[in-house]
Amino acid sequence: MIIFGTKGYLHQLAILTLVCGSCGNPAAHTLRKRVTKFTLFFVPLFPVSTKYGTQCTFCGAEQKLTAEQSDQLLAQQAAGQGMPGLQPGRAGGKDAQGYGQGGQGGQGYGQPPANPYQR
């Protein structure tokens, strides 16, 4: 009697900050790789299929990706580009922290505006 079958393995590749296509929130997404392997006598021998996907940690929505899209996301994370699709720094006249570009208080770029109640 020969015992054979398949077994799935789930690998977490990265945690990325992306804008969710379902809920629209900028949230952490887990980039996952699911590998299904053929087993013989409960020993995994070779991969049968490989699938990639992301899952939003805010709403739980999952999105399937291709291997190329997964590689692009990993390369963007390695380059430190932040959220794809959004430009850090000068979005809407504000810097990455959401502060104005130094107009009030003369504190320079990237600083919060001066607090009028602070001495």
pLDDT score at 41 = 92
Bridge partners (DSSP) listed for residue 20: none
Per-residue pLDDT of the chain (119 residues; tens, 9 = 90+): 889 999 999 999 999 999 998 898 999 999 999 999 999 999 999 999 999 999 999 999 999 999 999 999 999 888 875 545 443 333 344 444 444 444 444 444 555 666 666 65
Residue 112 confidence (pLDDT): 60
Cβ neighbors of 79 (< 8 A, separation 6 or more) are none
Question: How many Å separate Cα 104 from the centre of its chain?
Answer: 34
For residues 76 and 84, the answer to whether their CB atoms sit within 8 Å is yes
> If we measure between CA atoms, which residue out of 64, 83, 66 comes closest to residue 15?
83
